[in-house]
Amino acid sequence: MLDQKERELDQILQQYKKQKGALIPTLQATQELYGYLPKKAMEKIAKSLRIPFSEVFGVATFYAQFKLQPHGRHLIRICSGTACHVSRGTHLLEILEQELGIKKGEITQDERFTLESVACLGACGLAPVMMINDETFGRLTRDKINEILNYYE
């Protein structure tokens, strides 16, 4: 018996099955469905598009937009660029790891947050900077971080 997501994946595969160059849009739609790209779904994509699994996996791991692991409801990205590094951005990463009880690349036990470090967020004038989902927060301190995290309950 297929669950709801498997039925929706089948619909995605039907939509892209005969389109040339459909791998990336299929991966995007699948990630939209699951929140990441489960191995089982990628195997199904390979079979449907009649391409090797290694090609599907290669594309999924090449592009940063694709995630192979589940992530929390809120994605926290800490900037590790030069301006943020000079402004003690690495110290803020340590604060977040302590507050959330996870290391970068991990998800909190309640699946609320995923923590990542990125090369640059493009807001150097606000260093140190982090983003939660699509919202940017700058000139961060420990107190500001705690206040921001509480907002995302």
Residue 86 CA neighbour count, 13 Å, CB half: 7
Q: Is 120 annotated as a binding residue?
A: yes
Is residue 6 annotated as involved in ligand binding?
Answer: no
User: Does 24 belong to an annotated binding site?
Assistant: no
136 is in an annotated binding site: no
Write the secondary structure of the chain as one string of H (helix), E (strand) and C (coil): CCCHHHHHHHHHHHHHCCCCCCHHHHHHHHHHHHCCCCHHHHHHHHHHHCCCHHHHHHHHHHCCCCCCCCCCCEEEEEECCHHHHHCCHHHHHHHHHHHHCCCCCCECCCCCEEEEEECCCCCHHHCCCEEECCEEECCCCHHHHHHHHHHCC
CA atoms within 13 A on the CB side of 138: 11
Give the residue ranges of the annotated binding site for [2Fe-2S] cluster: 79, 84, 120, 124
Give the residue ranges of the annotated binding site: 79, 84, 120, 124
